[in-house]
Amino acid sequence: MRTRVAVIGSGPSGLLLGQLLTHAGIDNVILDRASKEYILGRVRAGVLEEGTVRLMDEAHSGARMHAEGLPHDGFSLAFDGRDHRIDLVGLTGGKRVTIYGQTELTHDLMDHREKAGALSIYEAADVTPCDFEGHAPYVTYEKDGVTHRIDCDFIAGCDGFHGVSRRSVPDRAIRTFEKVYPFGWLGILADVPPVSHELIYANHPRGFALCSMRSTSRSRYYIQCSLDERIDEWTDQRFWDELRRRLPAHHADRMATGPSFEKSIAPLRSFVAEPMRFNRLFLVGDAAHIVPPTGAKGLNLAASDVHYLFEALLEHYQDRSNSGLDSYSAKALARVWKAVRFSWWMTTMMHRFPDTSDFDQKIQEAELDYLTHSRAAATALAENYVGLPF
């Protein structure tokens, strides 16, 4: 088999890139080691920047997102028992975010890819990118006990942090940067109305909490926890009680509770791999970088990578120019590091660290006070939250 672009990974970044290429007339094949059902069963983020929304529209996959997504004009920082609203629209000249679950976005992209007749190969074992440092790359995989080969012009590694794409790059050619945080997020999904119509980021002496949602009847809540915690020791009632303790009283009193249908603990890390291009192999999304979810940047960073790579491939095939391909890594990383900085800053400002001194705590309190009383500081937060331009 031959195609122009072999895409490894059928998550949002791989599917979004595949859809954009398909609608531009650039043939591509998507491969994934997991099943379609497994991919659609994963619970992920749900805050979309305007740039991500625009790319979904460009991929002709945004209709349900616009019909069911929840536009948010702001969010709250909660500390000292009070809410401090960040007016995203007012501070950024009209920009907002959209709440729409990553699972739903993935479903939309899969559905439209199938309607377009583009090829996706699921449950492909031992996917391996080959000869990408030369001029004739190809990908091999096994399916039903048979080894297959796909020759291509380029390989897009959209297969996440644990995928094969980055691991296939020689150690001499790549450099990684990492910070591991000393806590995790315990999160639940429950079919109860959200406690607020906008997100709440809470800083509390007992630890961070986040009140989010997937719809007007489905809530996504998180609390900061130790990495030593065991998920089976957290009953729903224990979670609700702890969440209430970390919120201002008026939210805690009105919170609707109910049984959770998903509960998990996620560690937090910042990670960046440089560069993001290795001749004919390009790393995209989590394959190249991970950020703490505090700033809602993971999915959106993947989308901006897709934008840069798609524009570069379009320029290559339509204009016979490689300038976009040559600048892909530098452009993507410039935006990546700004988002990494923002996510690190939000994380350090909103969480309680095990080794925090009294001095550190006073600095954190001063930061929050300044942020909520300075329009300039609040504007910087809002501009980063809605997404830097790409």
Count other Cβ atoms within 10 Å, centred on residue 234: 18
DSSP state of 389: -
Q: Which residues are catalytic?
A: 72, 201, 293, 297, 385
Geometric angle at alpha carbon 11, from 6 and 14, rounded to 5°: 30
How far, in Å, CA of 186 to CA of 225, rounded?
A: 6
Give just the sign of the alpha carbon dihedral 297, 41, 213, 367: negative
- Write the CB contacts of 167 (distance below 8 Å, at least 6 apart in sequence): none
Closest listed residue to residue 390, CA positions, set 54, 12, 43, 141: 54
Q: 191-204 burial by CB neighbour count: b if 16+ within 10 A, else e?
A: ebbbbbebbbbbbb
Which residue pairs, CB below 8 angstroms and at least 24 apart, start in 204-207? 204/78, 204/79, 204/245, 204/246, 204/247, 204/352, 205/352, 206/242, 206/245, 206/246, 206/352, 207/183, 207/246, 207/351, 207/352
Start-end of H helices in 147-232: 164-167
